[in-house]
């Protein structure tokens, strides 16, 4: 993973697959034992003090979400691990589940206990059959060891944990669409409020967290919030897993402390652009993220700093484009992806993406005019501001950022013949 610092949250190599025996020898399930010996409120406060935020993209405070479910008067609560990792260029959750399955399961067990839930699901994308196999075997092993199921560690606490296989829809990464999918309905987003913490799975309070988020919980409970806050910055504590790909020498999964700049991630971990090349642009946050030029890479990986710079950290995917790469084909690929994955429920997303696809196709064939570029900017605003769910709202991120930072490439793609015709008109 590019790091050997044992003070980080995930500390294993790509070649190492940690079984239950090894995990426990390294301190695994110490956190669960500790949490069961103290009031749930103490562990929730530890997570609050640690400043853990959701690692799936929304960055919502994890302890607050747990507390919202716990304080709900409804019974029959649920906990769900969102492992529907469908963001192109993102592979961090797959790595955690294949290499550290028991850290995920312990995190889910802790979250369920703190939220007062006795039933849970790991929603795994259909395209991860190996992950599903590993998790099923790990759940069975944890149950046999008394770490899951009925009467966990003799505490009287129970958690029934099941695997649910998604059907391949990117949209089901959105938590309310995920809920509909588990319930056997079409995976489409619901109107919010109510939020899942209020009325989730089968209208019961439901805690939904990302794989990476849940896998952070055991380390925080085990080592304390002070240890966790010593990594990263005051604004953004702990570490972030980064899926680094594209035109860099060293690609793969890395773990970095918050506060490091994107330039340092690319240079120190990715070893920079390939020989003879320079970094032209970087896509941050996956297909739903932004495209930024090289001069913005000194921005630190930090929630507030990134928000001010208009950068979406998202799931932590970073794709590097060197100076041989044109921008428009890259953006067009994303638009086609979201057009394919859109559920078609709302007009701004369905029709906006369709028209954006038409204009980009015209630009790439040299048949567009500058008025088409202006129209594309209008469609992008409509997609982002009027779409019903996060898919549509995020689908315009690469369009908006590339139109802002690489506007000259859009204008250069306009055919001279079309320009002359426009000027004549």
Q: Calculate mean pLDDT across residues 36-40.
A: 96
Residue 172 in domain: yes
Whole-number pLDDT of residue 201: 97
* Residue-wise pLDDT tens digits, 381-422: 999 999 988 888 889 999 999 999 999 999 999 976 555 555
For tokens 């570029």, name the residue: 373
- Spatial neighbors of 8 by CB under 8 A, at least 6 apart, are 231, 239, 255, 257
Which CATH number characterizes residue 104's domain?
3.40.50.11540
* Same domain for 194 and 96: yes
Of 6, 61, 12, give the one whose Cα is nearest residue 236. Answer: 61
Cβ-contact 124, 116 below 8 angstroms = no
End-to-end CA distance of the chain: 58
Residue 3 in domain: no
Of 238, 386, 234, 407, give the one whose Cα is nearest residue 316. Answer: 238
Structure tokens at 359: 């204009």
* Residue-wise pLDDT tens digits, 109-140: 999 999 999 999 999 999 999 999 999 999 99
Long-range contacts of range 185-191, CB-CB < 8 Å, 24 or more positions apart?
186/343, 187/343, 188/343, 188/345, 189/343, 189/345, 189/388, 189/389, 189/390, 189/391
Rounded mean pLDDT of the chain? 93
pTM assigned to the model: 0.94
* Residue-wise pLDDT tens digits, 227-254: 999 999 999 999 999 999 999 999 999 9
SS3 of 228, please? Answer: helix
Q: Which value, in Å, is the radius of gyration of the alpha carbons in the chain?
A: 23
**Can you give the residue range of the structural domain that contains 87?**
20-229
* Same domain for 316 and 370: no
Q: Can you tell me the distance from the alpha carbon of 306 to that of 324, in angstroms, rounded to the nearest whole number?
A: 27
Which CATH number characterizes residue 387's domain?
1.20.1440.230
Residue 143 in domain: yes
* Residue-wise pLDDT tens digits, 342-396: 988 889 999 999 999 999 999 999 999 999 999 999 999 999 999 988 888 889 9
Whole-number pLDDT of residue 417: 53
Cβ-contact 96, 10 below 8 angstroms = yes
Q: What share of the chain is helix, strand, coil (3-state, %, to 5)?
A: 50, 15, 35
pLDDT at 288 over 80: yes
pLDDT at 4 over 50: no
Percent residues over pLDDT 90 in the chain: 85
Q: Quick one: angle between helices 129-144 and 92-99, nearest 10? A: 40
Whole-number pLDDT of residue 102: 98
Residue 276 in domain: yes
**CA pseudo-torsion sign 296, 300, 305, 306:** positive
Q: Calculate mean pLDDT across residues 49-69.
A: 94
* Same domain for 264 and 138: no
Whole-number pLDDT of residue 424: 54
* Residue-wise pLDDT tens digits, 296-319: 999 999 999 999 999 999 889 999
Q: Calculate mean pLDDT across residues 40-54.
A: 97
């Amino acid at each position: 993973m590019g790091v050997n610092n044992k003070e980080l949250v995930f500390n294993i190599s790509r070649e190492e697959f940690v079984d239950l025996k090894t995990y426990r020898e390294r301190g695994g399930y110490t956190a669960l034992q500790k949490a069961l010996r103290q009031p749930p409120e103490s562990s929730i406060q530890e997570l609050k003090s640690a400043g853990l935020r959701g690692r799936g993209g929304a960055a919502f405070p994890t302890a607050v979400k747990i507390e919202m479910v716990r304080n709900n008067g409804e019974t029959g609560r649920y906990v769900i691990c969102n492992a529907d990792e469908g963001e192109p260029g993102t592979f961090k959750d797959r790595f955690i589940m294949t290499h550290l399955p028991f850290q995920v399961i312990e995190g889910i067990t802790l979250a369920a206990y703190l939220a007062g839930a006795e039933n849970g699901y790991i929603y795994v994308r259909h395209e991860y059959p190996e992950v599903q196999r590993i998790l099923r075997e790990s759940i069975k092993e944890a149950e046999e060891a008394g770490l899951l199921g009925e009467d966990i560690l003799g505490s009287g606490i129970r958690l029934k944990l099941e695997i649910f296989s998604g059907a391949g829809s990117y949209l089901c990464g959105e938590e309310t669409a995920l809920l509909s999918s588990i319930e056997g309905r079409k995976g489409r987003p619901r109107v919010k409020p109510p939020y899942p913490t209020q009325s989730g799975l089968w209208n019961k309070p439901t805690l939904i967290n990302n794989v990476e988020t849940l896998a952070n919980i055991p380390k925080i409970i085990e080592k304390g919030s002070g240890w966790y806050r010593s990594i990263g910055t005051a604004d953004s504590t702990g570490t972030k897993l980064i899926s680094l790909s594209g035109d860099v020498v060293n690609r793969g999964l890395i773990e970095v402390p918050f506060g490091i700049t994107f330039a340092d991630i690319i240079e120190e971990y990715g070893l920079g652009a390939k020989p003879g090349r320079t970094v032209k642009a970087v896509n941050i946050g996956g297909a739903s993220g932004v495209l930024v030029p090289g001069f913005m890479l000194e921005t630190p990986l930090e929630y507030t700093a990134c928000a001010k710079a208009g950068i979406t950290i998202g799931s932590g995917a970073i794709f590097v484009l060197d100076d041989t790469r044109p921008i428009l084909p890259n953006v067009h690929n994303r638009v086609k992806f979201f057009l394919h994955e859109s559920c078609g429920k709302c007009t701004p997303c369905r029709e906006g993406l369709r028209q954006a696809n038409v204009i980009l196709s015209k630009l790439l064939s040299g048949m567009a005019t500058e008025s088409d570029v202006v129209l594309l900017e209008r469609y992008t605003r409509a997609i982002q501001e009027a779409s019903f769910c996060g898919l549509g709202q995020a689908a315009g991120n690469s369009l908006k950022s590339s139109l802002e930072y690489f506007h000259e490439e859009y204008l250069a793609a306009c055919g001279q013949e079309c320009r002359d015709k426009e000027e004549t008109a």
